[in-house]
Amino acid sequence: MRARFGGLLFLALAATLPLWLRDPYFVAILTSTGIFIIAAISLNLLLGFTGQLSLGHAAFFGIGAYTSALLSLGFDVDIGLPSPVVVDPKPVWIAFFGAVVVSGLFGWLIGKLAFRVRGAYFVIVTISFAEVMRMVALNWVDLTEGPMALNNIPPLSVLWPGHGLTALVTKSQQYWLVLAVGVVCYFLVARMVRSRLGRALIALRENEPLARSVGVRVTHYLVVATVVSAAIAGAAGALYAHCVRIVDPDVFLFIYTVTMVIMVVTGGKGTLAGPVVGGLIFGLMPQALRGTAPPEVQWIIYGIGIILIVFFLPRGIVPAFADLARLRMPALRKPASLVR
Amino acid sequence: MDQILQHALNGVVLGGTYALLGIGLTLIFGIMRVVNFTHGELYAFGAYLAYLFVALLHLDFFLSIALAALAGFALGALIELVLLRPLRSNDIDTVMLVMIGAWIALQNGEQFVWGGVAKLVPSPFAQEPLVIGPVSVAPLRLFVLGATLVLLVGFYWLIDRTRLGMAMRATFQDRDTAALMGIDVRGIYTLTFALGSALAAIAGALLGPIFLVNPTMGNLVGLKAFAIVILGGLGNITGATIGGFVLALVEEFGAGYLSSEYRDAFGFLVIIAVLALRPQGFFARKARVG
């Protein structure tokens, strides 16, 4: 009850934020933080609920960004066929969902390949995949414009009360758009982990041989989780493309994946609120550190931060606070649920 | 034909250092079950030390490489003692996260200390390439090839012929039984990690003078080392040796005949091919060290 009340309060605060916080810069920061929180939520589905670490999540994010940008801009590309492939500009929302589908397909491919074997393979495959995607974005200039980047990406538009079909270009509108997509993704993941699929994932995270022995189709579920996770990361990437309105090969940089991993691990992997809490901390911290520390020092702090969290708060902030609350109020003590 | 020979020679020179990197990584995984993300950084560390000793302190070139290897050994031992030993009882994913943190901290530490501008390590060898029949090769590259071959032979001797190597092989096969036989397993772990790190550092010190030294050089090399290890089968030393040469040759011929922009992507294609065709690694009959 309490947690639900807290969640509603948080949501109400978040939804009305641009109305009482009239600082467009800060709203813009929160918008980009929100995009990363969505990506972190998708990573948490894999890392937190299946125990599989994807170090290539920036790849799914980047594929989403590029797909949505290219579909909405239109492109023509010569791939050795008699005539070049020409794609006319598509409506922006179709591009958005196209990005979700394409990212999901890549997730399926990577999952199918990597889960042929367990252990470190998934990590290594995903991390190399992201690196190759960056090379493709950099070198396939015909399609991606390479380092010149894709510019003038159209914004997403919705039916805005009183204004008809409106392009979302102001900081507040983009903020609400990201918040809305974020809430949808959050509840999608929440619904998933409480479903049959989620129980299967948790079972195999806890004890794979046992899960397999009672008939859980382990590999199948792992691949499904990877597809959903990649699709959500792709949605985050598409949001990024239409909010920032410029996409360059740097979206595939490893530091973005690391940012997502830090958010999930700090907040609490395997908890629904974890990526949100971790995301807010690490989305806002660079702003606090700006001016006081050069970027490489920030990254050193991040690196050491991961190590310290693993050593001293191995389950992350959210579970630690939940434990604290339970100790304080014995009435709330209840058996630990597997979906923490 | 001459082209083919030239590419093959270049590939073999590169392959020697790839093999050193792959062996270090596979040794650490095989014995300790640690996915070592700091491996590429140890490589960069070795290269920067070569720069420090040769270009800034004007030490002897060969002495500098030996010192870089020793420093790599020390840094590896330090990482093991501070980060890995306390986490011995944790699962592989937890340890992996810590190694990622260490990787980021180390890489940005290098960036912070040395700045983003690439450094050149001078070498005492003549720039003039030696022309041997149809192919030509820089003397420095010949030295690197010779050094890596000596190191590879020395490493096999260590694993196969010494009591220490026997203790390492025993720990690899069964940690608990090895401990019961009186092997200091914790010491073996530290030594394994330090040794693997020293191999990465020496690979960096050897390649540093050939390529430029920059803070992110470890990233790509780390990924390639993973590709080599997967190619050879996780924990398989012979596999990693062959895998190192195979990857270097694939890259060299791929860059020469297919596309030089995607040179660094071939490692990933190798990983895909291995996972699709033979997930246990191409050279794995049975996973064992030595």
What confidence score (pLDDT) does residue A119 get? 66
Nearest to A307 among B102, B107, B108 (CB): B102
Nearest to A129 among B111, B219, B268 (CB): B268
Strand partners, A157: A167
Q: Looking up tokens 């199918």, which residue turns up?
A: A112
Q: Which of B103, B108, B224 to mutate to test the interface with A (most CBs of A within 10 A)?
A: B108
What whole-number distance in Å separates Cα of residue A191 and Cα of residue A188?
Answer: 5
* Residues of chain A that touch chain B, judged by Cβ-Cβ distance less than 8 Å: 51, 53, 55, 113-114, 116-117, 119-121, 123-125, 127-129, 131-132, 135-136, 139, 254, 258, 261, 265, 294, 296-297, 299-300, 302-307, 310-311, 314
Q: Which residues of A touch B262 (CB under 8 A)?
A: 135, 139
Mean pLDDT of B73-91: 90
What confidence score (pLDDT) does residue B71 get? 95
Give the number of beta-carbon pairs within 8 Å between A and B: 115
Res. A335 pLDDT band, cuts 50 70 90: very low
CB contact under 8 A, B275 and A127: no
Q: How far is B133 from chain A (nearest CA, A)?
A: 36
Q: Which of A123, A205, A258, A296 to mutate to test the interface with B (most CBs of B within 10 A)?
A: A296
Minimum CA–CA partner of B263 in chain A: A135
Angle (deg, nearest 10), helices B92-114 and B217-232 = 150
Query: Is the predicted pLDDT of residue B288 greater than 70, yes or no?
Result: no
B240 token code pair: 């990693």
A147 token code pair: 């380092």
Strand partners, B204: none
What confidence score (pLDDT) does residue B283 get? 67
Res. A226 pLDDT band, cuts 50 70 90: very high
Cα dihedral sign, A229-A235-A237-A240: negative
Closest CA to A243 of A184, A165, A171, A181: A171
- Chain segment A89-124, per-residue pLDDT in tens: 778 788 889 999 999 999 999 888 888 777 677 887
Q: Which residues of B touch A258 (CB under 8 A)?
A: 100, 104
What whole-number distance in Å separates Cα of residue A21 and Cα of residue B47?
Answer: 50
Query: Is the predicted pLDDT of residue B215 greater than 80, yes or no?
Result: yes
User: Where do the domains of chain A lie?
Assistant: 26-253
Nearest to B265 among A135, A310, A311 (CB): A135
Alpha carbons within 13 angstroms on the beta-carbon side of residue A89 total 8
Q: Looking up tokens 């590896």, which residue turns up?
A: B76
Q: Which of A112, A116, A128, A300 to mutate to test the interface with B (most CBs of B within 10 A)?
A: A128
What whole-number distance in Å separates Cα of residue B21 and Cα of residue B152?
Answer: 11
Minimum CA–CA partner of B265 in chain A: A132
Q: Which of A118, A127, A262, A307 to mutate to test the interface with B (most CBs of B within 10 A)?
A: A307
Q: How far is A312 from chain B (nearest CA, A)?
A: 11
Query: Is the predicted pLDDT of residue B38 greater than 60, yes or no?
Result: yes
What whole-number distance in Å separates Cα of residue A325 and Cα of residue B8?
Answer: 65
Helices and strands of chain B, counted as H and E runs: 11, 2
A273 token code pair: 């609120």
Minimum CA–CA partner of B115 in chain A: A296
Q: What percent of chain A has pLDDT over 90?
A: 14
Mean pLDDT of A70-98: 79
Whether ipTM exceeds 0.85:
no
What whole-number distance in Å separates Cα of residue A79 and Cα of residue A89?
Answer: 19
What confidence score (pLDDT) does residue A330 get? 52
CB contact under 8 A, A306 and B101: yes
Q: How far is A159 from chain B (nearest CA, A)?
A: 44
Query: Is the predicted pLDDT of residue A242 greater than 60, yes or no?
Result: yes
CB contact under 8 A, A135 and B262: yes
Burial of A9 (0-12, 13-18, 19+ CB in 10 A): exposed
- Contact between residue A26 and residue A167 where contact means Cβ atoms under 8 Å apart: no
- The one-letter code for the residue type at A164 is G
Query: Is the predicted pLDDT of residue A289 greater than 50, yes or no?
Result: yes
As a whole number, the mean pLDDT across chain A is 82
What confidence score (pLDDT) does residue B289 get? 42
Res. B191 pLDDT band, cuts 50 70 90: very high
Closest CA to B111 of A336, A297, A118: A297
Q: Which residues of B touch A136 (CB under 8 A)?
A: 265
CB contact under 8 A, B108 and A304: no
Mean pLDDT of B141-145: 88
Q: Does B149 touch chain A (CB under 8 A)?
A: no
A292 token code pair: 């006081």
Coil vs helix vs strand at A264: helix
Mean pLDDT of A84-88: 76
